[in-house]
């Protein structure tokens, strides 16, 4: 059993007021709030440890480098990666996908196929469109069923020896669907395709074990898992990452540079050109410790309770429709109320201190599929409570009254 009121005390922002009322934060899918330990780690870095990593011989540089690398160790453990050098630090999920999509420009040819799905975030669509435009490869899309789950029958038909890569989300940010990625991976591997998983909405909600999962590539963002913005992780198997060419050129990613020939550094440095977000990476370890301290399984179980409760309460609102009703769902609820624009709802509940997301959630193909301009979205984190859900539902009802 998690002690939620103790957990809440670790997040200073949760006790602030918004529009003169208590903040009720249900936009965790966009970014989560940060515990004091993460905030302190950023602060301490600049106060006490600031120095560039992997370069200097002096004391501070060594200290910063050690702490930076400790986060890599922590991530390796957290996701069950076989090797430390399979953990690449990026700016975030978007950056990680772009790194991979850029690398695949030299691995794909005309006639090759890349498969994504209809529920992807734009950041797992556009880089592949760009990659396919460049290489002449074809982009195929796994369609969505009406409940917001992937049409796995069609997926299996899309697979062929032409399929070189399948890139899908672990959890949909707009619908909450948890995709059957184990099944996707094993089917894709049968035809020799590589698999990349966008884990942005999964990493702090679902236990991960890369060696068991068998994905070739997996990525996520620190800021959606109680960590700082501007930091993310690309995990890739040693074999996959060695097959990809470097992304950006610059300092740190080279072995030797001359005008005749430059050779690249080994993993992970090959993909980490330039000075990284050192403070962010260091503080990310505190976020991981926050999560593992509670236990991802415990977080998942509690968030599922919140999901079930919120779903039941929302369904009591007259004229409501929930988008994404798959059997396996994470703590995300997208909905609309008949005759009301999600935007009007969001504006009014905001005045009552309730932060929800409205709009297309960077998933316009999903909105087109359901034929709506956008939805209102509640997404939970471990610090949310049933009482907050009640406040949110009251606010929504109030908005409905004002707007009808």
Partner 1 sequence: METIQDIQGEIIEDFGMFDDWMQKYEYLIDLGKELAPIDKKHKTEDNLIKGCQSRVWLHAEHIDGKIIYTADSDAIMTKGIIAILISVLSGQTPASITDAKLDFINEIGLKEQLSPTRANGLVSMIKQMKIYALAYNN
Ligand X SMILES: Cc1ncc(COP(=O)(O)O)c(C=O)c1O
Residue 221 found at the interface with ligand X (CB under 6 A):
yes
| Of 10, 94, 167, 204, the one binding ligand X by CB under 6 A | 94
Task: Tell me which of ligand X, partner 1, none is bound by residue 201, counting a contact when its beta carbon lies within the kind-specific cut-off of 5 to 8 angstroms.
Answer: ligand X
Considering only the stretches 118-126, 250-258, 306-314, 350-358, report the one whose residues sit in contact with partner 1 under the rule CB under 8 A: 350-358
Q: Are 339 and 400 in contact (CB under 8 A)?
A: no
Asked if 392 is an active-site residue, the reply is: no
Please state, as a whole number, how many other Cβ atoms lie within 10 Å of the Cβ of residue 54.
16
Among residues 250 and 319, whose Cβ is nearest to partner 1?
319
Residue 359 found at the interface with partner 1 (CB under 8 A):
yes
Considering only the stretches 65-73, 130-138, 317-325, 348-356, report the one whose residues sit in contact with partner 1 under the rule CB under 8 A: 348-356
Considering only the stretches 40-48, 81-89, 145-153, 338-346, report the one whose residues sit in contact with partner 1 under the rule CB under 8 A: 338-346
Among residues 309 and 370, whose Cβ is nearest to partner 1?
370
Residue 350 found at the interface with partner 1 (CB under 8 A):
yes
Among residues 46 and 343, whose Cβ is nearest to partner 1?
343
Task: Tell me which of partner 1, ligand X, none is bound by residue 76, counting a contact when its beta carbon lies within the kind-specific cut-off of 5 to 8 angstroms.
Answer: none
Residue 143 found at the interface with partner 1 (CB under 8 A):
no
Among residues 67 and 377, whose Cβ is nearest to partner 1?
377
Residue 123 found at the interface with ligand X (CB under 6 A):
yes
Can you give the binding site for ligand X, defined by CB under 6 A?
A: 92-94, 121, 123-124, 169, 173, 198, 200-201, 221
As annotated, the active-site residues are 362
């Amino acid at each position: 059993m998690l002690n939620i009121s103790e957990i809440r005390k670790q997040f200073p922002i949760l006790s602030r007021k918004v529009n003169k009322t208590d903040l009720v934060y249900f936009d965790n899918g966009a970014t989560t709030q940060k515990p004091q330990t993460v905030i302190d780690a950023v602060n301490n870095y600049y106060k006490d440890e600031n120095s560039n990593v992997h370069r200097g011989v002096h004391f501070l540089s060594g200290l910063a480098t050690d702490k930076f690398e400790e986060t890599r160790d922590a991530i390796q453990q957290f996701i069950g990666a076989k090797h430390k050098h399979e953990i690449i630090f990026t700016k975030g999920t978007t950056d990680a996908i772009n790194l991979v999509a850029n690398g695949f420009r030299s691995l794909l040819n005309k006639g090759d196929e890349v498969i994504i799905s209809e529920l992807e975030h734009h950041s797992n669509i556009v880089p592949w469109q760009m990659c396919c435009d460049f290489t002449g490869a074809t982009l195929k899309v796994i369609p969505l069923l009406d409940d917001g789950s992937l049409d796995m029958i069609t997926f299996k038909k899309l697979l062929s020896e032409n399929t070189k890569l399948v890139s899908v989300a672990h959890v949909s940010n707009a619908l909450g669907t948890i995709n059957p990625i184990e099944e996707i991976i094993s089917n894709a591997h049968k035809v020799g395709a590589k698999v990349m998983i966008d884990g942005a909405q999964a990493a702090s909600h679902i236990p991960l074990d890369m060696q068991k999962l068998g994905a070739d590539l997996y990525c996520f963002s620190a800021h959606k898992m109680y960590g700082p913005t501007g930091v993310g992780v690309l995990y890739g198997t040693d074999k996959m990452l060695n097959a990809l060419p470097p992304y950006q050129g610059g300092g740190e990613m080279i072995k030797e540079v001359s005008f005749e020939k430059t050779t690249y550094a080994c993993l992970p440095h090959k993909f980490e050109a330039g000075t990284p977000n050192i403070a962010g990476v260091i503080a990310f370890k505190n976020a991981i410790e926050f999560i593992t301290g509670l236990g991802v399984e415990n977080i998942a179980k509690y968030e599922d309770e919140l999901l079930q409760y919120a779903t039941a309460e929302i369904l009591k609102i007259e004229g409501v429709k929930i988008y994404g009703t798959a059997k396996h769902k994470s703590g995300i609820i997208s909905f609309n109320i008949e005759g009301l624009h999600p935007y009007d709802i969001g504006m009014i509940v905001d005045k009552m201190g309730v932060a929800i997301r409205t709009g297309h959630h960077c998933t316009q193909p999903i909105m087109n599929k359901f034929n709506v301009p956008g939805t209102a979205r509640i997404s939970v984190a471990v610090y949310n409570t049933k009482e907050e859900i009640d406040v949110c539902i009251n606010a929504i009802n109030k908005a409905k009254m004002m707007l009808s």
